[in-house]
Amino acid sequence: MDRFRIVKLKRRSRLPAAAVASVFALLLLGQCRREDVAPPPAPSTVANGARAGGPPPAGPPAPAAAADPATDEASPPASKGTWLEGNIYRFRLDDVRRCPPPAVPGGARIGAVVRVTSKVDEVFVAPRDVKLESGGVILESAILQKAPDGCGPLLAAKSMRAGKTNDGVVAFDIPPGFNPDNRPVKITYQPTRWGGAKRVEALLPSGSL
C-alpha cells in the first residue's frame, strides 16, 4: 500500500514538469519567430512628399500682378541736360521745342536740340540716327531743307574727330494718334558705324508732344 502511494505521487509530480517544459518550448519558438521577422523600415517621408522633420511643402506660386499698360516698358530717366555715355561718343538732349508748321493736319512738329561729342576719330553724326519711340512705334526724323521758325539751326551731318562736338535741332513730324495711351516717349541715338555702336536713349520731358 505504501509503495503504491509513492509511485502515484511520483507520477503526479511528473505532470507539472512536462507542462512547464511544453510552455517553455512554446515561448522559445515564439521568441525565435519574432526575431526572424525584420521590423518595417522607418518612413522617410511624411504626407505631401515632405521629408520628416523638414519644412512644410511650398504652396502654389502667387499669381503675377497685372502689368500697367502705361508703365509696362522700361523707361530711361528724364535726362534733359545730362550726358549719356555711348562707347564711342557722348550724347545729350538739351531741349524740346514746338516747331511750326505741322506737316500733317491734326499733328505736331517738334524739334529736339541735341549735342554729340566724339570719343574717337571718324564718328559720323547725322539727324537720321536720332529717332523717337513710344510703345514700339518708331518715328524717323523729318528731312528739312531749312530750319523752321524758332527751331534752328538744324543738326548738320558730318564726320568728327575725337574730342569734337556737333549740336543742333532734329525735327520730328508727330502724326495724330501717335501716343494715344500716353506712354513714355523716348529719343534714341545710335550712330551708323562699321562694327556697330552703342545705343543710348532719354525720356522726353512730360508735355513735349
Q: Is 187 helix (H, G, I), strand (E, B) or coil?
A: strand
Output the CA–CA distances (angstroms, integers) from residue 20 to 8, 11, 16, 31, 175, in the order listed.
Answer: 20, 15, 6, 17, 112
How far, in Å, CA of 144 to CA of 189, rounded? 19
Note whether 167 and 94 are within 8 A (CB).
yes
Output the CA–CA distances (angstroms, integers) from residue 191 to 146, 153, 157, 195, in the order listed.
Answer: 22, 20, 11, 11
- Give the residue extent of every domain in the chain: 1-35, 83-203
Q: What is the DSSP string of 12-48?
A: HHHHHHHHHHHHHHHHHHHHHHHHHSPPPPPP-B-GG
Q: What is the pLDDT of residues 42-76, one digit of tens each?
A: 444 434 444 444 454 555 444 444 334 333 345 45
Note whether 188 and 201 are within 8 A (CB).
yes
- Which range (62-66, 83-87, 92-96, 178-182) has the least confidence? 62-66
Q: Is the pLDDT of residue 118 over 80?
A: yes
Amino acid 48: pLDDT: 44
How far, in Å, CA of 112 to CA of 99, rounded? 10
- Which range (35-39, 44-48, 91-95, 181-185) has the least confidence? 44-48
Amino acid 159: pLDDT: 96
When the pLDDT of each residue in the chain is averaged and rounded to a whole number, the result is 74
Amino acid 169: pLDDT: 96
Q: Which CATH architecture has domain 83-203?
A: Sandwich (2.60)
How far, in Å, CA of 208 to CA of 183, rounded? 12
**In the chain, what percentage of residues exceed pLDDT 70?**
62
Q: What is the pLDDT of residues 159-191, one digit of tens each?
A: 999 999 999 999 999 998 888 888 889 999 999
Longest dimension (CA), the chain: 157
Taking alpha carbons only, the member of 192, 170, 168, 182 closest to residue 75 is 182
More confidently predicted of 133 and 68: 133
Cell output for 121: 576719330
Q: Is the pLDDT of residue 157 over 50?
A: yes
Determine the length of the chain: 209
Confidence of residue 25 (pLDDT cuts 50, 70, 90): low
Confidence of residue 198 (pLDDT cuts 50, 70, 90): very high
Instruction: Identify whether 16 is preceded by a cis peptide bond (ω within 30 of 0).
Output: no
Amino acid 196: pLDDT: 84
